[in-house]
Structure 1
Amino acid sequence: MHVRVSLVAAARSSSLLAERFDDDRPLDGAGWRSVESAARGLVPLAAAELRYCSPTPRSRATGEALGYAPLAQPALRECDMGRWRGLTLGEVASQEPDAVDQWLSDPLAAPHGGESLLAFIARIGGWLDTRPAEDGGAIVAVAEPSVVRAALVYALQAPPLTYWNVDVRPLSTMTLTGCPGQWHLCLQAPA
């Protein structure tokens, strides 16, 4: 059973430096404008048989603005950051520099008391591998950039620390094709 899964990174809700762990803010003005300008290229993905989104306000709003009418999927939530929730990376690094170093270098570490990087990647991979779609079917999901990165690392069976080397911009799209345990990255030229 081969399916096509397109992951769209949610539009932004704040500047990159102001982003907080488990940020649940809605889209900001720049985010809405970026959705409007990108819509032409992303609206065709609404033809997918199954349409999902992360449960965050910005993922839901991005999916709705693109006409996807997505179903929120709890499994597509961001990594559980435990006591770091609501803080910026800069704030945490100034308070717990050794813990941040451990978190960035050990995929099994969860110094924040939440989910380890490895557990997060496995959760996203589990969601990817259990999509109920017809052979040849299409799925679209709007998710946080961190979720898109985790899906890519899982699909390519890359070492977990590869996660830190992937940059996912708001409204970028990644398409995976295949079946559970056998995913392929599909790069497409713009239409």
Structure 2
Amino acid sequence: MSVRVSLVAAARSSAVLAERFGDELPLDHMGWREIQYAAHALVPLGAAELRYCSPTPRSRATGDALGYAPLVQLALRDCDMGRWRGLTLAEVAAREPGAVDVWLADPRSAPHGGEPLLAFISRVGGWLDTRPVHDGWIVAVAEPAVIRAALVYALGAPPGSYWNVDVHPLSVTTLTGLPGRWHLSL
């Protein structure tokens, strides 16, 4: 018995260079257009027995636009970035360059006063490991950061590899397996 979890990255709410930590913005015009273009490939995922999303406006809107009617899962929220919330990486690097270096180098650090990367990865992994275990299918719409954390956890990769994973808007990543034994399906 195993479960299949298809993780759909939320559509965009801003240009990549304008992304802010803890972005609570709704989908932008380009995000809505991307959903229209990708809907033919993504709507069939709505046949999954369980459909979830992270609590961000863009994740909920993406799931709703694709007809998933997803249930919000707080464990799928983005990493808590503390006092960096609302800032871009460039803004933080200009204000606290040493803190950014520590944050990028040490997954146990939280110079922003929020959640350490390691705790974020563990939280998302805990969500994966508590999904119903049966021959079933789950779809979840989440922020790219959440999907990166799920991949690092599922593959048992070093936490620092989180920074080497790119997740594009509306991409689908599928994990299959059982709690603690996940496989990436490409």
Per the shorter chain, which TM-score range? over 0.9
CA contact (8 A) 2:152 2:159 kept: yes
Deviations 1:60-79 (A, max 9, x none): 00000000000010100000
Can you list the C-alpha shifts for 1:17-47, whole angstroms capped at 9, x where unaligned?
Answer: 1100000000000000000100000111100
Across the aligned residues of Structure 1 and Structure 2, the Cα RMSD in angstroms comes to 0.6
| Deviation digits for residues 114-172 of structure 1 (CA, Å, limit 9, x no counterpart) | 00000000000000000125x21000000000000000000000000000000000000
Contact 2:3–2:132, Cα closer than 8 Å, also in 1:
no
CA deviation map 1:79-123 (0-9, x unaligned): 000000000000000000000000000000000000000000000
Matches within 5 A, 1:111-130: 111-130=111-130
1:85 maps to 85
**Amino acid in the other structure paired with 1:185:** L
2: CA distance between counterparts of 1:171 and 1:136? 25
2:163 corresponding residue in structure 1 = 164
Code of the residue aligned with 1:15 in structure 2: it is A
How many positions carry a matched residue from both structures? 186
Conserved? CA contact 2:129–2:180, under 8 Å: yes
Give aligned-pair identity as a percent: 76
What one-letter code is carried by the residue in structure 2 that aligns with 1:112?
H
Give the whole-Å Cα distance in 1 for the aligned partners of 2:131 and 2:68.
17
State the partner residue of 2:185: 186
TM-score, normalised relative to structure 2? 0.99
SS at match of 1:61: helix
Alignment of 1:35-50 (within 5 A): 35-50=35-50
**SS state of the match for residue 69, structure 1?**
coil
2:149 match: 150
Equivalent in the alignment of 1:137 = 136
SS at match of 1:127: helix
Residue type at the aligned position of 2:5: V
Unaligned runs of 5+ in 1: none
Aligned to 1:59: 59
